[in-house]
A and B are shown apart, each in its own frame.
Chain A
Amino acid sequence: MSVNLTNPEQPPVKPVAEAKHPSGDKRFKILEVHMKKLQFKQDALIEVLHKAQELFGYLEDDVLLFISAKLKLPPSRVYGVATFYHFFTLKPKGEHTCVVCMGTACYVKGADKVVEAVQNQLKIRAGETTTDNKVSLLTARCIGACGIAPAVVYDGTVIPRQTPESAMEQINKWVQS
């Protein structure tokens, strides 16, 4: 799931600073503009990490170092925060993501069997990505969709009342594509 932190209705802020990242990657510039909007405040670290993950897909060392330099925080602090929260990932995710909700309501209605089926099919464990980088299997603590348990999020779309069969069907579509 990606969370859009910027307000889409707001006019884009004009880039004021030149990209300072030696790689010339434009995303660093966008990230810096975002940090500037937050006045380079150190307490905005989590907001900045959200934005960085949205831009880059995951938080690589380069990005963390860039943030640490701009917010004037020790690199260890940035790394410590990034690894404390499960939402942030330091490894690239697969092309598709399958997030199985493992909240209590989903669990008592058989979410564990859905995970097991997908694990067996893809031969990976929850939290891993297939070797061909196609599918990442993740579990969530509770996505708050308990009324339609068990729920699975396929590429950001919540689908209600899943079974091992329906999940495998979706996964097969991805694997074969």
Chain B
Amino acid sequence: MAAKTLTIDGKQISAEEGASVLQAASEAGITIPTLCHLEGVYDVGACRLCLIEVKGIPKLLPACTTKVAEGMEVSTDSERLRKYRRMTLELLFAERNHVCAVCVANGHCELQTLAYSLGMDHVRYDYNFPKWGVDTTHRLFGMDHNRCILCARCVRTCWHVEGAGTKNVAGRGSKSKIISDLNQPWGHSESCTECGKCVMSCPTGALFRKGSTVGESERDRTKLEFIVTAREKKQWNA
């Protein structure tokens, strides 16, 4: 593979052809905030947190789906980008009911962590306070739609890693909802393999293991990447 040289935030780096700007940045030790991105499953460019400025292109581009190019000049942390990221988070916090203090993911939540790191200290929009339910019909797991940010990481994991296709997005717009099978209680789902990968993939406390407390809810996401890499590179031969 040919290498491409580019600059990210003034730093000269080289990356493999075909790599995303996000990969290239992370290899060079530059962190770009992400939310819908998950190592191991394909990217969709939906959360818009990883937007970057590329010299010569008027539009902002998502780092996760933008491929590196020779001579590209990328800026990942401008004042404008930081402002947009804070606003994106504000919109998320106002959209559903995110109450960190009583959340199983408190302390291990990507949404919370991002809000801290990006300095989003208050929400200026009116909270929507929608009435979303909690599905605790599953033997092992629960789903609290109030904490869902619709990143669809669970959907992608369920389909592309586990291959079960239990989860999907139903409805559209702000009424979108993560469903199991035909929008039935998760516990009644016939396709769910109870593998728990969706719980691993969830960035917030929307999907959780039953009986989990705040202290226990640390997730091992590297497993997903490990499985996919092992499969692709045929390293794991039975």
A67 to chain B minimum Cβ distance, whole angstroms, is 11
* Interchain residue pairs A-B with the least CB separation, the first 7: A74-B165, A76-B168, A80-B168, A83-B170, A75-B181, A75-B182, A79-B182
Determine whether the beta carbon of B181 is less than 8 Å from that of A79: yes
A interface footprint on B153-185 (CB within 8 Å = 1, 0 otherwise)? 000000100001111111110000001111100
Within 8 A of A (CB), among B162-218: 164-172, 179-183, 191
In the assembled complex, which residues on chain B have CB atoms less than 8 Å from the CB atom of A77?
165, 168
Closest to B177 in A: A83
Binding site for A on B (CB under 8 A): 159, 164-172, 179-183, 191
Alpha-carbon distance A134/B182, docked complex (angstroms): 28
In the assembled complex, which residues on chain B have CB atoms less than 8 Å from the CB atom of A74?
159, 164-166, 168, 181, 191
Which of A61, A65, A79 has the most chain B CB atoms closer than 10 A to its own CB? A79
Determine whether the beta carbon of A76 is less than 8 Å from that of B181: yes
Closest to A86 in B: B172
In the assembled complex, which residues on chain A have CB atoms less than 8 Å from the CB atom of B167?
76
Q: With A64-B182, A65-B182, A80-B179 as given contacts, are A75 and B172 in contact (CB-CB < 8 Å)?
A: no
Q: How large, as a class, is the contact surface on chain A? A: 10 to 19
Which of A76, A77, A78, A79 has the most chain B CB atoms closer than 10 A to its own CB? A76
Determine whether the beta carbon of B171 is less than 8 Å from that of A84: yes
Alpha-carbon distance A83/B179, docked complex (angstroms): 11
A105 to chain B minimum Cβ distance, whole angstroms, is 24
Determine whether the beta carbon of A76 is less than 8 Å from that of B171: no
Q: With A74-B191, A75-B191 as given contacts, are A80 and B181 in contact (CB-CB < 8 Å)?
A: no
Q: With A61-B182, A64-B182, A65-B182 as given contacts, are A76 and B165 in contact (CB-CB < 8 Å)?
A: yes
Determine whether the beta carbon of B191 is less than 8 Å from that of A79: no
Alpha-carbon distance A34/B182, docked complex (angstroms): 22
A65 to chain B minimum Cβ distance, whole angstroms, is 7
Alpha-carbon distance A78/B182, docked complex (angstroms): 8
Within 8 A of B (CB), among A21-80: 61, 64-65, 73-80
Q: A61, A65, A73, A76: which contacts B179 (Cβ < 8 A)?
A: A76
Closest to B165 in A: A74
Closest to B190 in A: A75
Closest to B171 in A: A83
Closest to A85 in B: B172
Determine whether the beta carbon of A76 is less than 8 Å from that of B172: no
Q: With A64-B182, A75-B182, A75-B191 as given contacts, are A80 and B170 in contact (CB-CB < 8 Å)?
A: yes
